[in-house]
Amino acid sequence: MDTTDGGTPVSDGALPSPRFPIEDALRSAGLWALVTLGLCFPIVAFETLQDFSNRLTIEARPLLVLFAVAAVFAGRLGWLAVRYHGLPQLLPATRFELTPERKKQLPRIGLAALLIFPFFALLLTGQGGAVKWIDNFGVQILIYVMLAWGLNIVVGLAGLLDLGYVAFYAVGAYAYALIATYVIPATVPGLGPWAFWICLPIAGILAAFWGILLGFPVLRLRGDYLAIVTLAFGEIIRLVLINWVEVTNGNAGIRTPYITFFGLPFSSRTGETTFGDVFALPGSPAVHRSMFLYYTILALALLVAVATQRLRRLPIGRAWEAMREDEIACRSLGINTVNTKLTAFAIGAMFGGLAGAFFGARQGFVNPRSFEFMESATILAIVVLGGMGSLVGVAIAAVAVIGGIELLRELSFLKQIFGPEFDPGQYRMLIFGLAMVLMMIWRPRGLVGARQPTIALDGNAKAISASHVKEGHG
């Protein structure tokens, strides 16, 4: 942080000095500790509380500040020592390098693991615990995999930075909610059980339509400006969902019918035949439903993956990637960048809409709080952390980010250390934000930072190090 960095790193060839420059290191660590003290002073040192007469008052927390300052001091000192002695070849060593054959097998292994995951979870945790693992982890992660793959088309392939992707997710979810709860019962109530399967394509089409609608005005914008305008669109849609109470029921949200097995409900209060009855399956309806949800979202996510793979080989996919690399060159070569951008927005939005309809059918409830800017940021973070354009990398990043966030909910054992008021769930987003910053410093290009060109002249395409390409300019 400071300019008087204590320990000098040992470079190759340079003679390591005999002694660790302890004074410099102490000075540096002291400075860090002092800065920490300054940062902590009012915000950490005092907690604002309401007293019995509802007046705001403050309570000092000197121990917490002391702890933070000591931790930073020790951490900085330790880091300098470790860096000086050149000890941690840890980071480069963990950078796993796979042989090309292994790399090709990776998606297949991953797919097989995904297919058996629910049964594995059922086997390990039994009927009671399986729903949590299948639904909270499996389905949750796969929704984000799908969203991130959808956004990957816009950001990773076409190079258009979209900070409002969650808008299309919202369009899909609300399309499902409104059609399934108002339109279908009012017109053809017999189709009620089929609501999800009817709404799914409609939600996709509507979202694609919105993608084009919002894509038109931003055709001329690039980079940061494009990001900000898409953010504004995302927020406008959310604010309209909150305020247009007559249609959307505002913050109170809409109850939606749950997903059905092609018309067969998984549970029924009115005594209809359920999925479990028909197939004479053991176990609770909740398990059946979560497993069906799991395979549905898996199929939808794979649809996105296959579509992405195929599109990359089509002229339009090539045009996207060309536009990402250099928009001006692209225009000069006669590529219609208007159509290229609009198709990217539309297709990306369509997948977002499909995921949204699924989300509505899974939750049984939609409200605008699910579509805040944080969601867009999370999805974008997944795409970037995974390495833009790489399907496998993005999937791994989704597992790491969403799985990590969900796992942090499970850290209840920490309550025994820090007392019963300690809520690990609070720290999820804190750690997530910090991880985003650190990831940008450590590996700004994401997990899979190099990519294979889709096409090459002599047939043996070399991987391009990502530092040679420049997405984000388009």
Q: Which residues bind another protein (CB under 8 A)?
A: 1, 35, 38-39, 41-44, 46-48, 50, 55-58, 161, 217-218, 220-221, 223-225, 227-229, 231-233, 235-236, 239-240, 243, 328, 373-374, 377, 380-381, 384, 426-427, 429-430, 432-437, 439-441, 444-445, 466-467, 470-473
**Closer CB to another protein, residue 135 or residue 327?**
327
**Closer CB to another protein, residue 300 or residue 384?**
384
Minimum distance from CB of 207 to another protein (Å)? 19
Please report, for residues 106, 116, 198, the alpha-carbon distance to residue 111 in angstroms, rounded to integers and kept in the order given.
9, 9, 28
Q: Which two tokens stand for residue 329?
A: 């060159």
CA–CA distance, 370 with 372 (Å, rounded to integer):
6
Give backbone dihedrals phi and psi of 451, rounded to 5 degrees, phi first. Answer: -140, 155
Reduced to 3 states (helix: H, G, I; strand: E, B; else coil), residue 261 is strand
Query: Which helix (H) or strand (E) is 249 found in, with range?
Result: none
**Closer CB to another protein, residue 204 or residue 348?**
348
What is the separation, in whole angstroms, between the first and last Cα of the chain?
33
Cβ 196 vs Cβ 386: under 8 Å: no
**Closer CB to another protein, residue 293 or residue 382?**
382
CA–CA distance, 6 with 89 (Å, rounded to integer):
20
Minimum distance from CB of 80 to another protein (Å)? 16
**Closer CB to another protein, residue 122 or residue 380?**
380
Minimum distance from CB of 20 to another protein (Å)? 24
Nearest to 445 by CA among 390, 400, 377, 401: 390
Cβ 168 vs Cβ 359: under 8 Å: no
Q: Which two tokens stand for residue 458?
A: 């002599």
**Closer CB to another protein, residue 57 or residue 336?**
57
> Cα dihedral sign for 447, 450, 454, 458?
negative
CA–CA distance, 10 with 131 (Å, rounded to integer):
52
Minimum distance from CB of 92 to another protein (Å)? 18
Minimum distance from CB of 424 to another protein (Å)? 11
Minimum distance from CB of 349 to another protein (Å)? 17
**Closer CB to another protein, residue 48 or residue 273?**
48
**Closer CB to another protein, residue 318 or residue 473?**
473
Please report, for residues 7, 289, 363, the alpha-carbon distance to residue 260 in angstroms, rounded to integers and kept in the order given.
63, 8, 13
Q: Which residues contact 173 (CB under 8 A, 6 or more apart)?
A: 203, 356, 357, 359, 360, 366, 370, 371
DSSP code of residue 182:
I
**Closer CB to another protein, residue 222 or residue 255?**
222
- Taking residue 458's Cβ as centre, other Cβ atoms within 10 Å add up to 6
Minimum distance from CB of 413 to another protein (Å)? 19
CA–CA distance, 162 with 160 (Å, rounded to integer):
6
**Closer CB to another protein, residue 22 or residue 242?**
242
**Closer CB to another protein, residue 404 or residue 433?**
433
Minimum distance from CB of 51 to another protein (Å)? 10
Cβ 165 vs Cβ 348: under 8 Å: yes
Minimum distance from CB of 271 to another protein (Å)? 43
Minimum distance from CB of 344 to another protein (Å)? 16
Minimum distance from CB of 39 to another protein (Å)? 6
CA–CA distance, 428 with 310 (Å, rounded to integer):
36
Cβ 196 vs Cβ 176: under 8 Å: yes
